[in-house]
Chain A
Amino acid sequence: MAILVYIENTDGGLKKSAFEAAAYAKAIADQKGDTLVALSIGDVADAELQKLGKYGVTKVLNASQANLKQFVNKAYAAIIAAAAKQEQASVVVLSNSFSGKGLAPRVAAKLDAGLADGAISLPSWNGNDMEVKKTAFSNKAFATEIISSPVKVISLSPNAYELKESPASAEIVPFTADVNANDLSVVLKEIVRATDKISLPEAEIVVSAGRGLKGPENWAMVEELADVLGAATACSKPVSDAGWRPHSEHVGQTGIVVSPNLYIAIGISGAIQHLAGVSSSKTIVVINKDPEAPFFKVADYGIVGDAFEVVPKLTEAIRNLKNN
């Protein structure tokens, strides 16, 4: 038996979430006394795949055939399921990324497996049954799920599992499987990606601002603060509804759920729907001119003050810290 981890790449590169999935799968392999096998699909250089060795991967199946260069969930799911069958995997781990969300349910269905979506900690075992924790009710609660099918699929939330190293050396083995033309019917025309931006769901620091900022013209100071911190920018729902910021920055119960190490909320009141999306952040800082703003109740640190004064000063202070 083996544990299979699917390693997602972005333009041929592996991101932190890919290593998190590998380290998480390694920990499960150790729990079960099974071997760990990784699977990469698409065009990823051997040198990049070898980095997985650092997290305990000793074997990487590399499915790099020409018709799999672009991500299509239907085709990729078929390849992952074929690899899982070949390796007799008892557990398949994927990242709960945007692509992972379109992939994991299909993989699970192909393997008659239960899917634990968005796991936030290592599973525990009770005979064949696996228990694993996830967030539910849009971060207002946690649910511990029991997966009782013979094969289990887990999608791991970004930033939920600490990267643990267990150095090994990864052997790269070609993997080919038949791809049904019908599985490739989605045509990719273009990828539009702001390469200078840090991706919000995976960001370790998030600087977020709300209606308190009055208008889109005032976001320069937010971006500057994000810049010195190496942070992603985010916003409240009314801000994206008004078109001040793109929808992809809207966090909350009906937006993106984030769990960074540091979430800085500027001019956001802290409505229950907003808090649902950010409450699992490790540290929360609130900057708001109203001392009664509900956000202070769930914050770790707060400054009661005018954002237009506080934010530029904060940026300066952090810049000084980083320069020293």
Chain B
Amino acid sequence: MKILVCISNVPDTTSKITFTNDNTVFNTAGIQYIINPYDEIALAKAVELAEGGKGTVTVINVGDAATEPTIRKALAIGADDAVRVNAQPRDAWFVANQIANYAKGQGFDLILTGRESIDYNGAQVAALLGELLDLPSVSIAKKLVIEGNEANIDREIEGGKEVLSVSLPVVVGTAEGVAEPKIPNMRGIMGARSKPLQVVEPIEVPVLASIARYESPAARGAVKLVDDVDQLVQLLHGEAKVI
């Protein structure tokens, strides 16, 4: 089985998010980058499926050379090889077009993404890849089991799940429940250095969307500490008017 895992290079979850240039540019100063947590789930699942010679795992990232530590980490976790599309990822449409352009005609049986990238939270790439490659897609999967040529998928819905089955190839966005993220071991880390990392140049993609400016959330007023529940209930009812 040939598996492609898309990985996004995102600010560490503890990052304080600030902006420069009159709130038009994300301030990357001092930011540590990690593999998007949902992509770690996708990668762990892919490695699991390919184990014991049952398949190969390729990871792909759309990013400039600064993302290579993240790609190497994915190789250390167990991917066989990696592709970096050498471009600043402008938005999901741009990213999906680059990945689709690489993937088309390569015969991947399974293309995995995370359910969303925790930076821009688009939750777009999985469905866009499905559209661009004319494949079925499930954007938010809580469970993924491959049996022969079938993918059995639990799709998240409000208050429950849909149990689905679909023939490969398919694009799946993974969430918790699909696999436990794997921590790279020493052998993996050493081995990652010599695994192939191919750099390909981007294709042109028309601009449909861009970001004009950012805002930080307004600070909340000071907390009102109360001593007893009756007082709290009164405030929630009379002041906040939420109950």
Contact = CB atoms under 8 A, between A and B. Distances in A.
Interface string B202-231: 000001111111111100110111111110
Interface stretch (B73-81, B132-140, B193-201): B132-140
B166 A202 contact: no
A182 B38 CA distance: 29
Interface stretch (B1-9, B13-21, B46-54): B13-21
Interface of B: 11, 13-14, 16-17, 19, 37-38, 92-93, 96, 118-128, 130-132, 134, 136-140, 142, 155-167, 175-177, 207-217, 220-221, 223-230, 232-233, 235-237, 240, 242-243
Given A110-B131, A273-B14, A303-B225, A248 B156 contact: yes
- What band does the interface of chain A fall in when counting residues whose beta carbon is under 8 Å from B? 35 or more
Contacts of B16: 140, 272
A105 B127 contact: yes
Given A199-B158, A254-B38, A317-B230, A106 B208 contact: no
A109 B158 contact: no
A283 B240 contact: yes
Identify whether the interface residues of A are mostly helix, strand, loop, or mixed: mixed
Contact of A140 (B142, B217, B224, B228): B217
Interface string A198-209: 111110010000
Given A109-B132, A191-B162, A318 B243 contact: yes
Given A97-B158, A101-B140, A317-B233, A135 B167 contact: no
Interface of A: 10, 71-74, 77, 97-99, 101-106, 108-110, 112-118, 131, 133-149, 182, 185-195, 197-202, 205, 229, 240, 247-248, 250, 253-255, 257, 261-262, 272-273, 276, 279-280, 282-286, 296-304, 310, 313-314, 316-318, 321
A298 B123 CA distance: 27
B208 A144 contact: no
A314 B232 contact: yes
Contacts of A296: 223, 225
A73 B164 contact: no
A114 B242 contact: no
B138 A186 contact: yes
Closest 10 CB pairs of A and B: A193-B160, A114-B208, A199-B158, A114-B209, A102-B139, A105-B127, A262-B242, A109-B131, A199-B159, A190-B163
